[in-house]
Amino acid sequence: MADFDLAGRVAMVTGASRGIGRGIALELARAGASVAVTARRVGDLAGTVREIEAAGSRALAVVLEVRDRASIRAAADAVGAALGPVDVLVNNAGVQRLRHALDVTEEDWDFVLDTNLRGLFFCCQEIGRRMVERGRGKIVNVSSAAGMIPSAERAAYASSKAAVLMLTRVLAVEWAARGVTVNAVAPTFVETELAAQTLDRPGAREATLARIPLRRLATVEDVAAAVRYLASPAADYLTGTTIGVDGGLVMR
């Protein structure tokens, strides 16, 4: 029987103050994990911490700026000291700036790529190094269907998410023999504040739904369920894999 239980495990979720990250953190807590949640401002995590504790799990709020390597190292140390070594890392922190390619500034590009790709890599490196030393661990990276299908106004965002997919595979190859699996999820539009930047435009929601075979947007719970699977013993034989939580969008 498949084992989706995470009792006794320590999980760390970046960008967990709201939306997908918050939902993932709560799902891992329901699976039995102690969960460290991070954000740029620790005060933004209060609601997530309350939900995790209400689910009966231990929670830890940690400040983390993924663009700052010293902050990444300090966060990893704080989690290790308070909860123990990280068994599951979920790299969810991400940003986007909707711009036509001709209007993307150097600051736009750097902000998006430094958060979504550079920051994700150094979180993988910092926690991954500790996992490799222990001989076990699971990393789940949150990419996007935008990393597979081109979409206007997302030159920086789509580039970062496409790179995350390849980075996931590279790390999976390097660390497989050391007991560490690295996988990804790639959602389509999810009902969050971030997606609303696009979906609230006139006609955008209808046009998006018309492209998705299942004719609905993803929910936070859909994404969280896929992450729980990849984080669990049920997925022990998966590495370098991307689960498309996209209602069939990418196959069109």
Which residues are part of the catalytic machinery?
Answer: 157
Cα 214 from chain centroid?
23
Work out whether strand 88-91 and strand 59-63 pair parallel, antiparallel, or are unpaired.
unpaired
Q: What is the layout of strands, in order, in the sheet containing 10-13?
A: 59-63, 34-39, 10-13, 88-91, 137-142, 180-185, 242-243
Task: Determine the residue type at 73.
Answer: R
Question: Which pairing describes strands 59-63 and 242-243: parallel, antiparallel, or unpaired?
Answer: unpaired
What string of H, E and C letters represents the secondary structure of 198-228? Answer: HHCCCCHHHHHHHHCCCCCCECHHHHHHHHH
Say which DSSP state 166 is in. Answer: H
Q: Residues 108, 91: contact at Cβ < 8 Å?
A: no
